[in-house]
Amino acid sequence: MIFSKHFFGLGILLSAYNIGYSQTEAPKPLIKDIYTADPSAHVFDGRIYIYPSHDIEANIAQDDDGSHFDMRDYHVLSMDSIGGKVVDHGVALDIKDIPWAGRQLWAPDAAYKNGVYYLYFPVKDKKDVFRIGVATSSSPTGPFKAEPEPMKGSYSIDPAVFTDTDGTSYLYFGGIWGGQLQRWNKGQYNANGSKTDLQNDKAPAISARVAKLSQDMKQMAEIPKEVVILDQAGKPLLGGDHDRRFFEGAWVHKYEDLYYFSYSTGDTHLLTYATSKSPYGPFTYQGVIMEPVTGWTTHHSIVEIKQKDQSSKWFIFYHDVELSGQTHLRNIKVRELKRNSDGSIQTIRP
C-alpha cells in the first residue's frame, strides 16, 4: 500500500449529492465507539459475526509501508440481523498473546469446522516480515488462542477462507506494496526487493495466492498457487492495468456454481471481481463492485444472509473514513449487494 497519495475525501461525498445519486440509503458506521476496518462477515448458527481490524491512533508517522496502521488487537462484533443492534464482544485476541508477533495486526478472517472457530490473521513477525497466523476458540466471539508459530510457508497479508459446498476450505491471501507480496519470488523473501509493483507494467500482474487448507484448518495442505486473473480475451491482466489488477483484500464467494473472486485494486481504490468455474481459477475479470469510498484503503467481504421469510439476500461489508476523515481510522459499514439476472454484480456508488 502507498498511503500518502490520492486521498478520497469529503469532496467526493459531497459531489455525489450534486450529481444526484440517492443518498437516502447511505449506510451509517456499524459501530462508533471504536474504529474498525477490513470487515470479514460470516453467519454462524444463524447470527452474523464480523471480524474486523481494530484501528487505533498509534501516533506513528504515515509512510508508504503503512506503518501508521499499527493495530494491536481484534474485537469481534455480532448482530442478529442487518439493521439490528451491533454487539462488541471485546478483545478476542491481543498481539501480546501471539508468541511470534512483532507488529501490525492487519485484516483477519474466520472459519468454523467441527465445533472449532478459527481466526486467521496477518501480522509482521519479529523480523518485520508479514506472516499469517491461526488462533482457535470454542466460541465465535473468542477469546482465541494463537498457535505458537505462523502457518508454515505463509507470507503477506489479508487471509480470506472460503469453504466450498463439499466442505473443502481454501485460504486466499496476499497484498502488494505494504503487504510485501511483490517481495516474494518462488517462496523466497527478498527484503531489498521492490517496494512497489510499478516496475512490471508490461508483465502479468502479481496476484493473490490460494491453497487448500489441511483437515485441521491450521496449515496449508499444498504450496500456494497464484490466482490468475484474465481479461475477457483470455489474456492475463498486466501490472500496468491499475484499474483491474489485484492489489489486496481478496474474498471468494460462490453463487449458482460460479466462484466470485473479489478484491481491492489499491491505488485506484476500486473493489472489483472476476469469476471462474474453479476455486483455483483462472478467473475472468468482470467489473467493478464498488467505486472509491472515502479514505485510501478499500476492503470488503460478501455474505449471503437468510431473511425472516427464508428468502436470501447478499450483503457487502466494507469500510470508509466517515467518522474520522483519516486514512488509518476507519469505520465499517454494510449494504445490500444486488445482482443482475445473469449473476453479474451491480456497481455500488458509495
- The three three-digit cell numbers of residue 118, written as one number: 478459527
Q: How far apart are CA 90 and CA 85, in angstroms?
A: 15
Q: Is 140 exposed, middle or buried, given 0-12, 13-18 or 19+ CB atoms closer than 10 A? A: buried
- Which among 74, 70, 115, 110 is positioned nearest to 92, based on CA atoms? 74
149 is catalytic: no
Q: For residue 322, indicate whether it is catalytic.
A: no
Burial 42-73 (b: 16+ CB within 10 A, else e): beeeeebbbbbbbbeeeeeeeeebbbbbbbbb
Binding site residues, ligand FUB, CB under 6 A: 37-38, 53, 69, 106-107, 157-158, 175, 248-249, 297, 299
Of 146 and 157, nearer to ligand FUB (C-beta) is: 157
Catalytic-labelled residue, pool 226, 248, 267, 322: 248
In the bound state with ligand FUB, the residue whose beta carbon lies nearer, of 7 and 230, is: 7
> How far apart are CB 106 and ligand FUB at their closest, in Å?
4
H-helix or E-strand containing 15? helix 10-18
Minimum CB distance to ligand FUB, residue 282 (Å): 23
Least distance in Å: CB of 180 to ligand FUB?
Answer: 11
Of 58 and 221, the one with the shorter C-beta distance to ligand FUB is 58
**Is the CB of 56 or the CB of 221 nearer to ligand FUB?**
56
Smallest gap, in angstroms, from Cβ of residue 329 to ligand FUB? Answer: 11
DSSP string of 252-303?
A: EEEETTEEEEEEE-GGG--EEEEEESSTT--EEEEEEEE---SSS---EEEE
Distances (CA, A) of 321 to 88, 95, 183, 254: 19, 24, 29, 29
Determine which one of 38, 65, 267, 322 is catalytic.
38
159 or 224: whose CB is closer to ligand FUB? 159
How many whole angstroms from its chain centre is CA 233? 27
Minimum distance, C-beta of residue 18 to ligand FUB, in the bound complex (Å): 28
DSSP-derived secondary structure letter, 320: E
Positions marked active-site: 38, 248
